[in-house]
Each structure stands twice: as structure tokens, then as C-alpha cells.
Structure 1
Amino acid sequence: MKSDVTLKGKLGIVLKSGMVLMKSYISVKDQVKILKTCRNLGLGSGGFYQPGYRDGAKLHLKMMCLGKNWDPQTSEYGDYRLIDGAKPPMIPPEFLQLVEKAIRDSHDLLAQDSKGINPEKILPWMSPNICLVNFYSENGRLGLHQDKDESEVSLREGLPVVSFSIGDSADFLYGDQRDVDKADKILLESGDVLIFGGSSRHIFHGVTAIHPNTVPKLLSEETNLRPGRLNLTFRQS
């Protein structure tokens, strides 16, 4: 199931049940604020680092956790980062407000497409207490995986993941199996918001390529953003 709907003049795409892409949703002005906030937080305690797995392999990205720390070696959330004991910064209130607005607007989009079904049954509400901030360089990528380290209740109820894209565009794969050849692909551009929850909460997804020199000109001028993509994913533990 894939259908296009519009809300307040902006394009929304229902990719499948519980999965909505809102194109150019975040204004360039707000993107600048988000980027500058993440940059400032990333330079402090609990800021950006390159995470790795138990076997020593490093992820092809830089990461910072807000609210709670996620450890790729244990696949668990905690109050402190194991590698250095740093406490993650809190999620800025303006980020939470934008997430709430995005979910509310996604419900309005689904109401146009759901044939009378309550949108909250398709895409539940959530109150994020976790945000993973990933920065992908031009060579960055992330293999197909599921976001499944949240609580049993969160996963069972299908509480959504809300993803902000800022900077260069990226190829995003998603599907019901961990099979690149069977996955669908969409282009995530700066300002896009992707939400997946409900029956789509357990999709496999990943980033296969970053497209250089695709960052909006005004965003680049206002922030001096280095080549790459900043991705914020919000979820409730």
C-alpha cells in the first residue's frame, strides 16, 4: 500500500500501514536550529563518538544519545555511557514539540487515507524519552536492522520511531525481511520526517548511500555543515 496525500500544502506519503513519510516537513529555519543545537551538545560531555560492537567492528557513523544512552555492544539503554561514564544530555524541549507536532500531522494525513479507521489505531501516540543522533559522512551507511531494544510494552503496542533528516540526501531501504534485494528504497532529503509504528514498527531498515552536495544551499550557508547527513530518531523506551 502506497498513497500520496497532502496536508497544509506539503506532500505526505503513506508507504504502508503505520509508515508515513512527510516531505520537506521541517523548515530550513528549524533545521538550522536543530543542527546548531546538536553541534553544541555534541561537543560536550556525552557528545558524538564512533560506536562499535563487541567484535571490535565500528559503525560507519558518529553517534550521540539524548535522554538515555543506547549501547550497541549490549543492545540496551542506560543512564550512562559505558565507554566513559558520560550521562547523555537531555532531549531539548523544542525537539519534543516538533515530534509531537509531526505525529499529530501524520494522524491528519492518515485520516484522509484510512477510510474511517482511527489513525491512532494505525500509528499510536508516543512520548519520546530517547533520541539517537547519528551523523553519516559521505561514506556513511547502516545495514538493514530492526529497532527492537525498547521495552516489551513499547514494541508490543507499536509505539513509533520518528526520524528527522538534515543535510545531504540518503537512500533509505525498508522491508519485512533482512534482504536488500527485496527491500523498497526511498530518498530521504533534508527536512523530511519519516514515522513508522503500529504494524510497521518491526520493519528492517537501513541507509545504503549518502548523496554528496545535496544539502540545501541556505542550510549550508547558515551552518557550514560538513558533507554528510544528520539523522535524529526518537522513540519511547
Structure 2
Amino acid sequence: MDLFSAHPTEPVALAIGAYWLPGFALPCMPLLWQCLQQHLLAHPAQHMMTPMGYPMSVATSSMGRWGWVSDAQSYGYSAHNPLTEAPWQAIPPVILQLAAQAAEQAGYARFVPDSCLINSYAPDSKMGLHRDKDEQDFSQPIVSVSLGLPAIFMFGGAKRSDKTAKIPLQHGDVVVWGGASRRFYHGVAAVKPGTHPLTGSRRINLTLRQAK
């Protein structure tokens, strides 16, 4: 269901414990983007395989003590980049501060993520409905930061069959969910072709979690 005919400027409650913070990341975007570019030079995004044996349409990299990984056996977290065997680089202070501030805005105090998944979407790539369930502590929220091309974020409920709200995310938007909605289904519709002044023909999403 489409709930929004225009991009809001104030926080929007999506569900119990879930909030859309339009433009929240824009003030720190120049430094954030500089850190992200440097990271991707050392840890380029790669198309990992799903346990069903198919390459993901979205390319991924990670920051933090734990990086999200996928292979023919399972999804999970690893302290090392499977492509290079090198440890993931630390999450830069600007991103840690943004995550903590966004979480606090949504009612979650003292959020300190140990994992930052970087998803790079080319045009037509997407993320199917799924739940974040590979973490050990579900009391901690998830903070999602959008950069570059716009995308439709689908936010559902506790069951895959629940109706989804279609959230038109733009560059700099942040979504935070936790508490009662921590394990709600969510996904990203196929990204439409376009060009953004910062990221070019890509949408980049940062997903910050407390993995372990």
C-alpha cells in the first residue's frame, strides 16, 4: 500500500518501534561519503552467493568487527572479508555517531553497532522481503541509511504475507526499527535507472546492527 504522496520533512512512524527519518543523514553526508569511498577501495562490494546457489543482485561489503556474509551453506557474520581474508575495517566515527543519533531519535538510547553492511544497488537490482534474524541480541534496533538513487523500501509485518507499506526513500533518509518491529519483514523494490550527483548510477544503503 502506498501511504505517501509527497516526501515528508518530519519523522514518520511506520509501526510500533519503527520510524522513517527523512534527510536525517544529510548534515554528515560529505564526511560519510569520503569514508565510504575509502573503505570500498580496500573492500570492494562483491556479489555473494545465496544458500540456494544464486548470486545476489545486490553487491555487498561491510565495516565493523563483524561483516555480514553469505555462501552456499548459510547467511551469517564473519570477522574477515571472504574475498581477501583481511579483517573488516572499523566503522568510522561519523557513521557510529549518525547511527547512535538516529537510534536515539527513534527512542533507542546508547546504540553501538558492531556491524555495518554496505549494499550497492545497480539499476534493476532489488532485495526481496526478509527478516534480519542472524543477530544474537534482538533488543537492539536496526539503523538503515540511504545514499544515492531513490528506492522504494517495503516495510511489512511479522508474517511474510502481511501487507507492506511502500516508503519512497531518498538520499540522506534513515529508517530505524526495533522493539516490537525488530523482526518485521522488509525489502527493496527494483531500483530504477538514474544518476545521482554523489553516487552516480547506484543506490547505496548502510545497515547498522549489533550482531554479537
Length-normalised TM-score, structure 2: 0.87
Q: Partner of 2:117 in structure 1?
A: 132
Map of 1:173 onto structure 2:
154
Give the 5 Å matches for 1:155-194.
155=138, 157=139, 159-176=140-157, 177-179=159-161, 182-194=163-175
Mapping 1:175-214, distance limit 5 Å: 175-176=156-157, 177-179=159-161, 182-213=163-194
Structure with bigger helix share is 1
| 1:124–1:198 contact (8 Å) kept in structure 2 | no
SS of the equivalent of 2:39 reads helix
What residue is the counterpart of 1:37 in the other structure? 35
Q: CA deviation at 1:214?
A: 6.8
Equivalent of 1:150 in 124, 135, 139: 135
Runs (4+) off by over 4 Å:
none
Alignment match, 1:19? 18
What secondary structure, in the 3-state scheme, does the structure 1 residue paired with 2:118 have? strand
Q: Is the CA contact (8 Å cut-off) linking 2:58 and 2:121 kept in structure 1? A: yes
Name the counterpart of 2:100: 100
Which secondary structure state, in structure 2, belongs to the residue aligned with residue 33 of structure 1? Answer: helix
Structure 1 residue 78 displacement after superposition = 1.9
* Structure 1: gaps spanning 5 or more residues: 4-8, 108-122
Structure 1 residue 182: Cα displacement: 2.5
Q: Alignment length, in residue pairs?
A: 202
* Residues 1:226 and 2:200 are matched in the alignment: yes
Deviation string 1:66-98 (CA, Å, 9 cap, x unpaired) is: 111222223221211334312111100111011
Identity of matched residues, %: 30
Contact 2:28 2:94 (8 Å CA) reproduced: no
| 1:10, distance to aligned residue in structure 2 (A) | 4.4
The answer to whether 1:54 aligns with 2:69 is no
The match for 2:69 is 71
Residues 195 and 202 of structure 2 are in contact (CA less than 8 Å); yes or no, is this contact kept in structure 1? no
CA deviation after TM superposition for structure 1 residue 124, in Å: 5.9
TM-score between both structures, scaled by the size of structure 1:
0.78
Deviation at 1:106, TM superposition (A): 2.4
* Greater Cα radius of gyration, structure 1 or 2: 1
Aligned-partner SS, 2:89: coil
Which consecutive residues of structure 2, in runs of 5 or more, have no partner in the other structure? none
Partner SS state of residue 189, structure 2:
strand
Computed over aligned residues only, the root mean square deviation of the Cα atoms, in angstroms, reads 2.2
Closer, same or farther: CA 208–10 of 1 in aligned 2, 3 Å: closer
How far apart, in 2, do the equivalents of 1:63 and 1:35 lie?
16
For the residues of structure 1 that align with 2:149 and 2:166, how far apart are their CA atoms?
Answer: 16
